[in-house]
């Protein structure tokens, strides 16, 4: 399993008139979380696209337990439980506030698209090779 933590503050723009972080903004947070998780593994998502692979999201699930508020310090935990082997990669998320209260949990599944052919492809070898040491080291 691979796990990464990202910390950031809620922006005013991200709140709505309830005073909560707007429920759709977590998609943006989750994106930041997986990009930072990938960076820890030695990948920049920018490089992935430069290598001709797009990774659009194919499924998003969020269960909201508590709201986040303006200026809250958020900790986002991003997990990759399984080495991706087929067409998909699935990230799991936990969002917490500064009191360590669980705000929500979520999952995001993405696919690999070859930019030229615009077709879905299996997880590239170089991608899998990059993850391998982490899955070996953390059995």
Provide the binding-site residues for its own copies, judged by CB under 8 A.
11-13, 15-20, 22-28, 31-32, 35, 44-46, 54, 56-64, 67, 70-71
Closest approach, Cβ 69 to its own copies, in A, equals: 8
Please, where are the H alpha helices in the chain? 25-40, 45-50, 125-137
Phi, psi of 134 (to 5 degrees): -70, -35
DSSP state of 72: P
- Min dist CB 30 to its own copies, Å, is 8
Minimum CB distance to its own copies smaller for 102 or for 132: 102
Active-site residue 16, yes or no?
A: yes
Structure-token match 């999952």, residue found: 107
Q: Shortest approach of its own copies to residue 126 CB, angstroms?
A: 19
């Amino acid at each position: 399993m691979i796990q990464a933590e990202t910390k950031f503050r809620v922006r005013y723009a991200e709140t709505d008139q309830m005073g909560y972080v707007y429920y759709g903004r977590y998609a943006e947070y989750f994106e930041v979380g997986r990009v930072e998780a990938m960076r820890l593994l030695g990948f920049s998502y920018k490089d992935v696209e430069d290598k001709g692979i797009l990774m659009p999201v194919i499924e998003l699930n969020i269960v909201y337990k508590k709201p986040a508020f303006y200026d809250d310090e958020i900790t986002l935990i991003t997990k990759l439980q399984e080495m991706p082997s087929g067409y998909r990669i699935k990230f799991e998320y936990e969002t917490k506030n500064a009191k360590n209260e669980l705000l929500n949990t979520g999952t995001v599944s993405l696919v690999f698209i070859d930019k030229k052919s615009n077709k879905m492809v299996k997880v590239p070898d170089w991608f899998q090779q990059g993850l391998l040491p982490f899955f070996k080291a953390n059995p």
